[in-house]
Structures are given as structure tokens and as C-alpha cells.
Structure 1
Amino acid sequence: TGRAVEMAVEALPSSFVGDVLVLNGDVPLLDADTLRDAVAAHRTTGTAATLLTTLLDEPHGYGRIIRDDHGTVDRIVEHKDATTVELEVNEVNAGIYVFASAPLRATVTRLTQDNSQGEKYLTDVVGLLRGQQLTVSASRVSPSWKVEGINDRAQLAQAAAHLNALIIRGWQLAGVTIVDPGTTWIDLQVTLGLDVEVKPGTQLLGATTIDERAVIGPDTTLVDTEVGAGAVIKRTDATLAVIGEGANVGPFSYLRPGTYLGADGKIGTFVETKNATIGAGSKVPHLSYIGDAEIGEQSNIGAGTIVANYDGVNKHRTTVGSHVRSGSHNVFVAPVTIGDGAYSGAGTVIRKDVPAGALAVNVAPQRNMDGWVVANRPGTAAAEAASRSSDSGASNSPAQN
């Protein structure tokens, strides 16, 4: 850090006479108020430098603040260079400084690499300033987590968990119900309305916004997703989706980017959507894939419906009108349009446009081949069951004269 600050000072205009604020890049929980307070304290005291310190129960790895008999900051000793006595000190350097530019310019060039790590320590500037009879003050930060550094992924996870706890508490105090803070994750950019309820196992990430009275979870992940007032979303994964007011999503729904679900609409169990607009009051309740499609208002898509949007080369769109009723296990082969108020029968494969109000069916007539199992699968459990059923039916038939 000493060489880095030396280069930064060289880049400053020679006419610059202000203060220089130096920050470590691995202190993610440092807040603006703490920095403002440090700058204000520095300018009030008029010292050559002001550094931030904190008290740690386990200060391993941190530079120690060494004070003189009057309690004034005398120097900073890096952990690897500290004596046994100095290691007992639990006031540590937070790595954040405010320097008056003139003494910093004059001193930073005097840094040497005469230490255990062969580096230019910025911390040595403090001792050099004191050697010139200049005053160095310290501003102690509490709580210490604000200035704790990150040196490994374990510390990174701890800092992230602490920030998440602060975010959750803030939303709780703002009128959001979070049932289990320990299993809930909320990013800093997320916005929640009054009386939103977040159930266990939920992650709200990115720029997700949730309007008032919505219920989210359990076991739900929303990324950059907009949720309308009063919507209910459970056991769902959604990214870049818009879910309307009063809508119902889940369980086990997968909303991919470009999904728009209208007010009071439904995306149900084991349904996947992508680049799809589903109008107000329309429902896709079960076991379906709706991709590159537009569905009007108050339509119902039968269980097991698949939008076949890809021909092996290009994606095509499907348009379904309002008040449509499609049967179970349909396939819409895009590009295709189904008009308002149309119906389709179960098992229908729709390859051609369906006019408004029409019934689309293309299932072949059912043919029953009596005795096929006994003749073609003799000795199987199915054949034996069929034989017993046939014998029972024959014995119960009216006697023939």
C-alpha cells in the first residue's frame, strides 16, 4: 500500500493542497457516515494524519496501534514485525487514513522496504510523521465489523451474512414480515412494500421489487423480478419476470426471462415459461411449457400443454386469444394463432390457426382390439388378469336356452 499511495500522490496536481483519504479495498461494510466522521475529525484537530482504529478480541493479522505514555498514537506495527508485547495490543489499524497532503508528499517518498515482507508499508508513514514532531490522531470505530477486512472466503461469507442480517432487520422494522431470517437472503437493491411476507428459504436478489401484501416463499428465488400487490409465489425460481397484482405462482414453477403474468393470473405446478405474456386472469395450472407465446385474458391452458416454439433452426411465436379453453396434453406447433373463445380437445396437436369460437380436434377414432393381450402376451400377469375378467363376465351372463 505504501508504493500505491506514493504513485497516487505523484499523480496529484502540484497545486493540490487538500486532504487525501486512503481506503483499503477489502473493507466491504465500511459506510459513508464513518468516512464523513473521520474527515470531519481530521479537519477539526488539524493533525498531519488521522487513522481509523478498532478493538478486536482476536486481532491476529492486523497491524497494532502503539501509543506513547500520553495515549498519543506513536506508530503502527505490522503483525509479522510485532514483538511479543506488541502482539498483546488489541487496538488495530483499520487501514483507513486521512492525510494532510503536504506532510504526506514529504514523507511517503521516504518509505523503505526494510521489513519482514520486503514491502513499502504505508503504516510506516505514521512513525515518520511522529519523528518530525507532527501529530497523528486516531478515530476509534465501533462496532468493529464496519472496518473488518476480508482476507479469505470464510471472512467474505461472514461479512456477507452480517450485511444480510442488517438488511433483514431494516425491512422488519419497516413493516415486512420475515418468518426465518436465518434462511432468507435479501440483496441491498431489493425493494419491499408494506406487509410483504417472506417465508423460509427465500432469496430476493438483484433489483427485485415486491409490492405490498405479497407473500413470497417458502423456498423461492427471485432475481430482478417485479411482483405486484397481493401476489402469492411459492417454491418458484424466477428471473427477469413480471408477476401481476393478485397473481398466483407455484409450487415448482420456473419463470425464465421475459415472462409477464397479468393480474390474477396463475402459473402453476411444474410449469416453465419464457418470453411469454399471460394475460389477466389467464391460467397455466399444470405440467406445461409456454415459450415465445402470448396468451390473452381469462384463458385456461390444459394440463400438459407444450408450445413447440423451435423448428430446429428458428424460434417462432404462438398467439392464444382471450377466453380460450385448451384441452389436456395439447401441443401448439408455432407459428400458430388460436382465436378468442376457441376450444381444443384433449390430445390435440394444433398445427394450423384456429378461428375464434371454433373447436379444434385431430385425434383419430379409438379402436379396441378385443382379446389382443391374451393372444399376444400369453403367460403374463396382464393376460391372466384379462382371462379371469373374461371368465367372470361370462359366468355372470344370462343363461342361454
Structure 2
Amino acid sequence: MQAIILAAGKSTRTYPLTATKPKPLLKIANKTILEHNLEQLALVKDINEVIIIIGYQKEQIIDVIVNKYQNEYKRNDFGKHAENSKIKNKIKLRYFEQKEQLGTGHALMQVKDALHDRFIVMNGDDLFSGKDIANAVKHKYAVLGAKVKEPSRFGIIVSHKNGDKNLVNEIVEKPKAFIGNIANTGLYVFDKKIFDYKLKKSSRGEFEIIDFVNFLIKDEGVNVETVSDYWFSIGYPWDLLEANEFFVNKINKTKSIKGNVILGKGTKLLSGTYIEGNVVIGENCKIGPNCYLRGSTSIGNNCHIGQAVEIKNSIIGDNSKVPHLSYIGDSVIGENVNLGAGTITANLRHDNANIKSIVKDELVDSGRRKFGVIIGDNVHTGIHTTLYPGRKLWPGTSTLPGEIVRKDKIS
């Protein structure tokens, strides 16, 4: 059985983090979303090949495939696929390019000739569990659903019982009135029959994968398999924090040293470093002296966290530096970031209300009472920079010494 990972799209709701990289390469617990999903697919015995559909910033995804998963690699034209090689559990891995971003249905049609019979399709920027995938593939046709607290944010599955089956009636996109709380996760079980159907462009001018589902609902019946393990939808930058908390805590149960701390190769903890909670630290980092790491924190590779720095419940990207006298709380920091001495991220409103943030010119409730900042790649802050909660710094921007960041800084 084959698995198709949809990783071609460009995400603007997760800017500034995805202004420089595709969303599947955002890191959680110091591992990319793509790697998390590949490892979970490796746990499903029915899966013997993974096809990744690439587009936006395609070279970055190819580098991950080449550097971490392929033993042998021959660079072909991006419209072709790499030579079949194998990841750790002998699953073949290759990629195809979606040259035009014409929707998820169009992406799937790019690999039509490479498919054998049954296959799964999954969003490449959400996090799925191997256990739930294995349960879904027990059905001939299926969609994976998950209970959610805010149904109006998702496509909601309306279903009915038919004996021991739970069959889809319809999937309603972001309903205004309550019709249920089982969201479409974007993972489907299909076979090549779907290509007998002819898709038409939607009102958005795209070919939608959901139209394949609608055809199958009428002709065959589609089962709903509900998540029993986990699913994380990374719709906004702050969604990374919840996923990071989950995976950092999960890692602690299986492979920890120094109590509940994971240290990468070559990383040094200097005198006076105090760590409380579940923390993952990458390779070749210098931590300390006299710093405080707490909460569910993930620090990338080649980072420096220095004198009198406190980091709480945050994600720090590769090659970033917080050298001295700073507080980073409930925040996501990109790669190659340097925070000047005394940089402070505020993460709590005086009235204790949820933090809101601007996304595509709209003020969006993060759902988090404590939420700091989102900083893109290659950002530098001047000494004594203060950032209001929910604010963002775009890639390559900088602040002046003593600057107070009250609004998103795009340039």
C-alpha cells in the first residue's frame, strides 16, 4: 500500500515562519513535521512506499529526504521522481512536483500513474499517529476524523450509523451553526477508482480532493475513523506550542537522560544551568552558565542559551542565540536568530484575556492565555528590546536598542 504526503502548498497563515520554508519543515521537539509523519507511517505494516508531493521551496524538502532518509540518491528533473531508496523500515520513498498550485485534487492527479491500487493521502503539515493511520486503512474507503473544540475552524463530518459502520453523509466546511464536532483531518483512504471521476474547479479556482470524497459517498460509501491517539492541525504559528508540549512530554517517557532532559550529541550544560520540566536540546549547543529552562521547551541544533536567560515553554530554531539577560516565554523563534541582551517577550495580558494576533489582516484569538511572540528566520534584536504578546517579527528584520515592539514588524 502507498501513502501520499501533500507537501506542495504555501502556507501564509503561519507567516513569518513559513515565509522562508515549507510548513512540513517546521520543527516540533527538534524534529520536522515531515519526519514525524514519516516515522509514524513506518509503523504501519501495510505501507510499503511513500510519495511526497512537493512544490513551494521544494529543494528544502528534497534535502531532508536526501540527507536523512535516502541511502542512495540520483538527482533527476524535479518533475520526475528520485530513485527508489529506503527509509529505516524498508519503505520506498520518492517525490513528485506539483508545478502549478491548483489544489489538493490536482496534486493527487500528478501521481496517478505511479499508484498501484489502494493508498492513503494525508496533509503534510498536520501531525498524525501511526495507530490512527493503521485503523483507517482497515476500511476500503475512509476519512480520518477528530473531535475538536472549535468546529467552525474546520471541515466538519456529518455521518450516520449503518450496522457496525459509521458512514459519511457530507463534509461541511467551517459551519457557522453547530452540526457536529468531528473534524476532517485531511487523511483519506482511497483506491485508483477515484480517477474515474472528473473533477471540476471549485469556486476558489482549484481542484479539491474533497470532491473525490463526495463522489465516493454517493457511489460506494466512505467510513469515518475517529482519532484515538493524536492529531495536531498546525493552522497558526501558535499551534506549534501545543504540539511541542505533547511531543516533548512523550519523548521523556522513552529516551531521557538527566531526569527529563534530552541532550543532543556535543551539547554542553555549563555551571548554574537549571532545567525544570520536559526539555529537548539539539546537537552542539552551549547552554549556560546560569540560565533557566522550563516548561515544554525545544531547542534546535547549534544554539547558544547564555548567562541569566530564562526560556519557558518555547521552540528555538537551529543556529539561534539568546546569549544573555533575556526572557523568552510561550514563543516560537526561527533559525539563525540573535536576540540582543535584555530582550524580553511579554506573554500575558493584564486582564488575563486570551492573546490575539494578526493573521492575513485579521485579528485572530489564539485561544491561549499565555502566548509570547513569533520570530522568523535571520532576525536580530537590539539590546533591551521588549515585545508585546502575540506580535511577529518577519524574516530578516531587526529592532533598535530599547525598541518596544507594539505591532508586527514586517520590514
Choose 1 or 2 for highest CA Rg.
Answer: 1
Of structures 1 and 2, the one with the larger relative CO (CA 8 A, separation 6+) is: 2
Q: State the TM-score, normalizing by the size of structure 1.
A: 0.40
Q: Could you say which structure has the higher helix fraction?
A: 1
Q: State the TM-score, normalizing by the size of structure 2.
A: 0.39
